[in-house]
Amino acid sequence: MEKLAHEIWIFDGNSVQFLGLPFSTRMTVVRLSNGDLWVHSPIKLSEKIIEQIGYLGRVKYLIAPNHLHHLFLPEWISAYPSAEIYGTDEVIKKRNDLAFNGSLNNHQSWAWSSDIDQELFSGSPLMEECVFYHKGSSTLIVTDLVENFPGQDFNYWQRVIAKGAGILAPNGKMPLDWRLSFMFGKTDARTHINRLLAWDPKILVMSHGEIVKENANKFLARSFEWLI
């Protein structure tokens, strides 16, 4: 557990294999103004994490921001049965074995909206992702919208693949396959990225790769130059 900024912490988990690469895992926990915990992209649960979470507060919300980040939801639901679970339409369809409290695709007044803003990044038939902005710390929270792997855990060929996909630090961005899928959805994507840039984030935390703690808005703008 690492405190990233005021009322926001990150937890790094073990890597999982995906598309031939070892993908690091990371969840972000925000303590809301009322003391409840908002857990973004839950990682594999352990007794140590349960203990650390207990020091922070009560788990109230579990967030699955896209259809690739759902693997560990069942164990969190079991450990925190009173927590509310939210995911995108794609996650809810994929995990019909789980009872979600609502979809992040809906436009509504969210219980966490006084602390956290959100934007559904759509425009691609491949994937959509709900992106969040923690106002108190000016932190943008994403999962796969931007990946920024340092590469030290990759072998030579894995680094070549990661660089070709555009996800190798310090020049990380949206993975190539997802970028290409916006062929007919760039107008939507520009609307979304403009909203993110308007938030003027000071920190960019992602599920996969190095956190950007300086010039985060410039990094974000550069990583989305492909939309121009």
pLDDT value at residue 197: 96
3-state SS assignment for residue 197: helix
The percent of residues in the chain predicted with pLDDT above 90, rounded, is: 70
The pLDDT assigned to 23 comes to 67
**What does the pLDDT average to over 140-144?**
95
| Helices marked H in 169-208 | 176-180, 186-198
Domains of the chain and any CATH numbers: 2-104+119-227 (3.60.15.10)
Residues facing residue 40 across a β-bridge: 28, 63
pLDDT (tens digit per residue) in 75-120: 999 999 999 999 999 999 999 999 999 999 998 999 999 999 999 9
Q: Can you give the pLDDT at residue 41?
A: 96
121 versus 184: which is more confidently predicted? 121
175-207 pLDDT per residue, tens:
888 899 988 889 999 999 999 999 999 999 998
Work out the average pLDDT over 1-5. 95
Mean pLDDT, range 147-176, rounded to an integer: 79
Q: What is the DSSP string of 61-102?
A: EEEE-STTS-TTHHHHHHH-TT-EEEE-HHHHHHTTTS--SE
The pLDDT score that the predictor gives to residue 57 is 97
Average pLDDT of every residue of the chain: 91
Q: What angle do CA 34, 3, 209 make, to 5 degrees?
A: 120
Q: Quick one: pLDDT band at residue 153, thresholds 50, 70, 90?
A: confident
Give the pLDDT score at 166.
77
**Integer Cα distance of 132 and 137 in angstroms:** 12
